[in-house]
Amino acid sequence: MTAPRHGTRATGVGLAFCAPWLLGFVLFIAGPAITSLWASFTDASMVEPARQVGGANYARLISDTLFWRTLAQTTAYALVLSGLGTGGALALALLLRRRPRGAGVARLLILLPAAVPTAACGVLWIWLLSADYGPVNSLLSRFGVRGPGWLVSPAWVPVSLVLVGLWTIGPSVIILEAALGRVPRSLEEAASLDGAGRTARVWRIVVPAIAPVLLFVLVMAMIVGFQAFAVPFVLLGAEGGPERSGLLLAGYIYQTAFARLDLGYASAIAWVQLLVVLALSLVLCRLSRRTAFGADPEGAP
């Protein structure tokens, strides 16, 4: 890759083509990221010049019970939503794979909610999940079920957030369905000649074959879940709803930076968020590598 034959002229041309992105990277990504790292060691506010405070912001995090609650709520939300979402998307992709009657329309209906802007999604679900006059509880009551206070009971708020999140798994379904389509038929046929039943073929041949894509979908869903902001904000308000049961990290950072104008502390929380996201992604990749290579010793005939 570093062969000298590329020459300095080629380097100039390459740099020129990449110049817009590189400039944007410095101005809007690297610059602000470094500034926020620096700010996390100061008492920077949105309005006044900053003073160095060393690790005080990080020390404050340790005793901030709201931070720990928010971190726990966000982790639970991201893990449950990405797990259920990826599992559900896999199930739907497997259903679609056999091209049942009307698969095209069904696929579009499943994908469509992902086109709904997050603000509209929030406004829509406030009405749908309203305890007293919402269509969801009204539908439940027809079956004799007394619907819960989806958005007013602290115990149900996390459930509602996951439910609304699951509504938008369409893109994951499409990605997994495409990956299933690339699994060679011959693999399955060989297994079926060896006497493997349909369930065994799916779980021991087809699903392991798409393991890398499955992992990609899972990690992306987790990263997105960890950064969720708009839906909880619109659905439950800036403070995160009853007893802040729906306050997630991004919302807490937003509140700290833009309502309390405490940029230094907000930056410290944001960097912790970044580190947790990176750590979780790494752990997932590690775990999956072990299982992907360890699984199914008699898979190959």
Partner 1 sequence: MSRLARTLLLWLIAGAFALPLAWMVLGSLAGTESLASATPRLLPRSPGSALEQAARNYVGEVGPGGETITRGVWTDPVVDFPTSLRNTLVIVMLGTAGMVASCALGAYGLARVRWRGRRAVLLLMLLTMLLPFPVVMGPLYILFRELGWIGTLRPLWVPAWLGAGFGTLLVRQYMLTLPRELDDAARLDGCSHWGVFVRVILPLCAPALAAVAALHVLATWNDFLGPLIFLQRREQFTLALGLHAYQTQAGQVPWNLLMAACVMVVAPMALLFALMPRAWGAAQAAE
Sign of CA dihedral 18, 19, 20, 26: positive
Smallest separation, CB 265 to partner 1 (Å): 10
Smallest separation, CB 100 to partner 1 (Å): 4
Closer of 32 and 299 to partner 1 (Cβ): 32
Smallest separation, CB 246 to partner 1 (Å): 16
Site for partner 1 contains 221 (CB under 8 A): no
Smallest separation, CB 179 to partner 1 (Å): 8
Closer of 204 and 296 to partner 1 (Cβ): 204
Give the alpha-carbon dihedral of 13, 17, 23, 28, to 10 degrees. -150
Site for partner 1 contains 162 (CB under 8 A): no
Please answer whether residues 87 and 297 qualify as being in contact, where contact means their C-beta atoms are separated by less than 8 angstroms.
Answer: no
Q: What's the token pair of residue 203?
A: 């779980």
Site for partner 1 contains 114 (CB under 8 A): yes
Out of 56, 149, 271, 284, the only residue in the binding site for partner 1 (CB under 8 A) is 271
Smallest separation, CB 212 to partner 1 (Å): 9
Smallest separation, CB 90 to partner 1 (Å): 13
Site for partner 1 contains 203 (CB under 8 A): no
Site for partner 1 contains 120 (CB under 8 A): yes
Q: How would DSSP label each residue in 185-236?
A: HHHHHHHHHTT--HHHHIIIIIHHHTHHHHHHHHHHHHHHHHT--HHHHHHH
Footprint of partner 1 on 53-92 (CB under 8 A): 92
Site for partner 1 contains 180 (CB under 8 A): no
Footprint of partner 1 on 25-44 (CB under 8 A): 25, 27-29, 31-33, 35-36, 39
Closer of 101 and 300 to partner 1 (Cβ): 101
Site for partner 1 contains 23 (CB under 8 A): yes
Nearest-angstrom CA–CA distance, 237 and 127: 14
Closer of 3 and 300 to partner 1 (Cβ): 3
Range in contact with partner 1 (rule: CB under 8 A) among 54-62, 172-180, 183-191, 291-299: 172-180
